[in-house]
Chains A and B, each alone.
Chain A
Amino acid sequence: MLGTGLLHGLKVTARNLVGSFHDPARMVTTQYPEERTRLPENYRNFPFLLGDDPADPLGTLRCVACQICEKECPPQCIYIVMERDEKGKAQKRPKVFDIDLSVCMSCQICVEVCPFDAIKMDQEFEIATADRFTGLLRHKEDLARSNAYYHQLHPTEAAAVDAALAEQKARQAAAKAAKAPAPAAAPPAPPAVPPTPLPPAAPAP
Chain B
Amino acid sequence: MNPPAADPLSAGLLERLPLLARDALTSGLPEPWRWVSNSLLAILAIIVVFSSLFALLTLAERKVLARVQNRPGPNRAGLPLTRFRLGGLGQPLADGIKMLTKEDIVPRGADPVLHFLAPVVLLALSLLTFAVLPYGRLLVPVELEAGVLYFFAAGAATELALFMAGWASRNKYSLLAAMRALAQLISYELPLLLAVVPVVLLAGSLSTSGIVAAQAGWDLGFLPRWFVLTPWGFASFLIFLTAALAESNRSPFDLPEAESELIAGHLTEYSGFKYALFFMAEYLGMTALAGLGVTLFLGGWREPLPFLEFVPSYAWFGLKLLALLFVFIWIRATFPRLRIDQLTRLAWKFLVPLALLNLGTAALWALTAGWGPALQPLRWLGATALVAGPFVLLGRGLTAGLRPRTYRFA
Whether A and B touch (Cβ < 8 Å) is answered with yes
| Cβ contacts under 8 Å, A3 to chain B | 395
Asked if A59 CB lies within 8 Å of chain B CBs, one says no
B347–chain A nearest beta-carbon distance, Å: 15
Asked if B71 CB lies within 8 Å of chain A CBs, one says yes
A6 contacts B335, C-beta separation under 8 Å: yes
Asked if A2 CB lies within 8 Å of chain B CBs, one says yes
How extensive is the interface on chain B, given as a class?
10 to 19
| Cβ contacts under 8 Å, B71 to chain A | 27-29
| Cβ contacts under 8 Å, B395 to chain A | 1-3
Q: CB within 8 A of B70: which of A10, A14, A26?
A: A26
Asked if B84 CB lies within 8 Å of chain A CBs, one says no
Asked if A75 CB lies within 8 Å of chain B CBs, one says no
Task: Pick the interface stretch among B4-12, B61-69, B254-262.
Answer: B61-69
B333 contacts A13, C-beta separation under 8 Å: yes
Q: CB within 8 A of A13: which of B72, B75, B334, B399?
A: B334
Complex formed: what's the CA distance from A14 to B64 in Å? 10
User: How would residues 12 to 37 of chain A score, 1 for a CB under 8 Å from any chain B CB and 0 otherwise?
Assistant: 11101100110000111101000000
Complex formed: what's the CA distance from A6 to B330 in Å? 12
A16 contacts B68, C-beta separation under 8 Å: yes
User: How would residues 355 to 397 of chain B score, 1 for a CB under 8 Å from any chain A CB and 0 otherwise?
Assistant: 0000000000000000000000000000000000001100110
A16 contacts B396, C-beta separation under 8 Å: no
B72 contacts A10, C-beta separation under 8 Å: no
The answer to whether residues A2 and B70 also contact, given A9-B334, A9-B335, A14-B330 and a CB cut-off of 8 A, is no
| Cβ contacts under 8 Å, B331 to chain A | 10
A57–chain B nearest beta-carbon distance, Å: 37
| Cβ contacts under 8 Å, B75 to chain A | 31
B343–chain A nearest beta-carbon distance, Å: 16
B344–chain A nearest beta-carbon distance, Å: 18
Complex formed: what's the CA distance from A10 to B391 in Å? 20
A96–chain B nearest beta-carbon distance, Å: 43
- Chain B residues 68 to 116 lying within 8 A of chain A, measured CB to CB, are 68-72, 75
| Cβ contacts under 8 Å, A1 to chain B | 392, 395
Count chain A CB atoms within 10 A of each CB in B64, B68, B71, B330 and give the residue with the most: B68
The answer to whether residues A2 and B72 also contact, given A10-B334, A13-B334, A20-B67 and a CB cut-off of 8 A, is no
| Cβ contacts under 8 Å, A12 to chain B | 334
Complex formed: what's the CA distance from A138 to B64 in Å? 45
The answer to whether residues A2 and B391 also contact, given A14-B330, A27-B72, A29-B72 and a CB cut-off of 8 A, is yes
Complex formed: what's the CA distance from A9 to B330 in Å? 10
**In the complex, what residue of chain B is closest to A14 when comparing beta carbons?**
B330
- Chain B residues 310 to 343 lying within 8 A of chain A, measured CB to CB, are 330-331, 333-335
A10 contacts B330, C-beta separation under 8 Å: yes
A181–chain B nearest beta-carbon distance, Å: 71
A3–chain B nearest beta-carbon distance, Å: 7
The answer to whether residues A28 and B70 also contact, given A10-B330, A13-B330 and a CB cut-off of 8 A, is yes
| Cβ contacts under 8 Å, A31 to chain B | 72, 75
Q: CB within 8 A of B67: which of A2, A9, A17?
A: A17
The answer to whether residues A2 and B399 also contact, given A9-B335, A16-B68 and a CB cut-off of 8 A, is yes
**In the complex, what residue of chain A is closest to B388 when comparing beta carbons?**
A1
A17 contacts B64, C-beta separation under 8 Å: yes
Complex formed: what's the CA distance from A138 to B392 in Å? 72
Complex formed: what's the CA distance from A9 to B335 in Å? 8
Complex formed: what's the CA distance from A148 to B104 in Å? 57
Complex formed: what's the CA distance from A2 to B67 in Å? 28
The answer to whether residues A13 and B68 also contact, given A2-B399, A6-B335 and a CB cut-off of 8 A, is yes
**In the complex, what residue of chain B is closest to A21 when comparing beta carbons?**
B67
Complex formed: what's the CA distance from A65 to B7 in Å? 96
Complex formed: what's the CA distance from A16 to B330 in Å? 11
A-B contact pairs, 24 of them (CB 8 A): A1-B395, A2-B392, A2-B395, A2-B396, A3-B395, A6-B334, A9-B335, A10-B331, A13-B68, A13-B334, A14-B330, A16-B69, A17-B64, A17-B67, A17-B330, A17-B333, A20-B67, A20-B68, A26-B70, A27-B70, A27-B72, A28-B71, A29-B71, A31-B72
New contact pairs (6) apart from A13-B68, A13-B330, CB-CB < 8 Å? A13-B333, A13-B334, A14-B330, A16-B67, A16-B68, A16-B69
- B residues adjacent to A (C-beta < 8 A): 64, 67-72, 75, 330-331, 333-335, 391-392, 395-396, 399
